[in-house]
Amino acid sequence: MPAVVVLGDVNVDIVARLESYPPPGGDSQPLETMLHVGGTSLNTAIMLKRLGVDVVLIARAGADVLGDFAVAEIARNGLSTEWVQRDDRVMTGVAYAAVTPDGERTLLGGGGANRNLDAQTVPFDVIAQANWLHLTSYSVLGAASLEATLHATQLARINAAVTSLDIGLAPVRLARQSVTQLAAEMRVLMPSEQVSIDVMTDQTLLRKLGAQGCVIAEPDGHRFHVPAFAVSVVDSTGAGDAFNGGYIAGSIWQLDTCQSALLANACGAAAATVLGAGSALPTREVVKGLLRERCPTGWEKQAKRVLDVI
């Protein structure tokens, strides 16, 4: 049975590299346009697989050409497609990412089939045997996907699995009550820098700060700042998802919280050096290279410990 189950979204990303973002009503001719498989859940699953963690992806794509592309890419990245549902009613989720020269990306997303994740065909027996269940807040935006997610969460908690939640800006804005309901059931919360979320006394908060690294707040009151790795940013798409995978992997390997966060920062930094996410996400060797060569000052001992187990 898998060490980690990732349940959530699969998208096809249309990534456009721009000289500058156009004003309202304007237009821009991309310098380059690429098609990638993506979605915060799939990206995290790919990063876990690249690090050597046994991971299962549960998701839903459309029964369309984009869904065919997504399923083929999932398989090409070494993940099983057994639990990727197909939807003949709505199209595969699509995200449009406009990337400016500073590496900042502006994202327009369409949930599509992700919102129809069917609880009736989710392999809850697989979830029951996993050590870790990772979820995305985007799952709250559809009634069906929310039902499946809450059921999976309940089952994971009954079986003493660790649960974690990536929290994005749009779900908090569009469905704060549902996000809050789901977040309250989690062991680990992974919000981005701009997200405001209530934290329970028994939860670990891992706030992603981009170029500033991350901040950890533990249930016992300890709070840590783990610095980022200095890299030339090409595209921040998927960096937070890769970060999630790094933290989960470190925790599975029984690294301490700071060491797991250092690995997470390395994965996120490496992901930011390439255009797009999905298949473009970094390999384990690239992450190891960052840990060896660009470790933040004062963190060399922690990096060595991570390298010993990665």
The angle, 0 to 180 degrees and rounded to 10, between the axes of the packed helices 257-271 and 284-293 is: 110
Neighbouring CB atoms inside 10 A of 300's CB total 12
Residue 97's pLDDT is what? 83
Neighbouring CB atoms inside 10 A of 178's CB total 19
- Specify the CATH number for the domain of residue 276: 3.40.1190.20
Instruction: Say if residue 1's pLDDT is above 80.
Output: no
DSSP class of residue 234 equals S
User: How far is 216 from 83, CA to CA, in rounded Å?
Assistant: 33
Instruction: Say if residue 192's pLDDT is above 90.
Output: no
Integer angstrom CA distances of residue 132 from 7, 90, 155, 163, 186: 11, 30, 11, 6, 11
Residue 101's pLDDT is what? 85
8 A C-beta contact, residue 34 and residue 162: no
Q: The pTM is what?
A: 0.94
Question: What is the domain range of residue 110?
Answer: 4-309
Confidence bin at 61 (pLDDT 50/70/90): very high
Domains contained in the chain, number: 1
